[in-house]
Amino acid sequence: MQADTPIIPLPRLDEEPTFNEAWQAQVLAIAQNLIATGAIAADDWSNALGAALCELQVDAKSDTVENYYQAALNTLETLLQANCGISKDVMDQCKSDWTRAYETTPHGQPVKLQ
C-alpha cells in the first residue's frame, strides 16, 4: 500500500463530520447490532473489514472516508451471505424493489415497498 504520502494532513480530517451520508451510519449500526446479537462474530467483522479496506484503499488517493464506508458495506454483504444465508440475489432483488418504489412514488409521498 502506498499510503506514506497522505493526500491531506491527518488532523484536518478532524474537522469533517463522521458520517457524510445516513447510510454510512446505518452500515455500522447494522453491523454492531448483528455483533451484539451474535449473528456475526466481532473478529469475523474486523478481519473481513480489514481485508476489504486493503482491497479498496490501494493508494493514498483512495484512502478516503467514502472508501472506508464502501468497504464496510461490502463487508456486511459478504458476511451476511456467509453467516446468515442471505444470497446476493435476494439482496439485489430487494434493492431493485426499493429502486422501483422510489421511481414510482410521487414526490412528497412516503416510499413503501409494495
Partner 1 sequence: MPSFDPKKITKIHQHLHSHLPSDPALRVKALETILVEKGLVNSENIDRWVEVYADDIGPKRGAHVVARAWTDPAFKARLLADGSKAVGEMGYAGPASGHLKAVENTADSHNVVVCTLCSCYPFAILGMAPNWYKTAAYRSRVVREPRAVLAEFGVELSEDTAVHVWDSTAELRYLVIPERPAGTDGMTVDELAKLVTRNSMIGTDRDLKTGGV
Q: Which residues bind partner 1 (CB under 8 A)?
A: 1, 3-4, 6, 9-11, 13-14, 16, 18-19, 21-23, 25-30, 32-37, 39, 42-43, 45-47, 49-50, 53, 57, 60, 63, 65, 68-70, 73, 76-77, 80, 84, 86, 90-92, 94-95, 97-99, 102-103, 107, 113
Shortest Cβ 82–partner 1 spacing (Å): 14
Please report which residue ranges of the chain form alpha helices under DSSP H.
22-37, 42-56, 65-84, 88-104
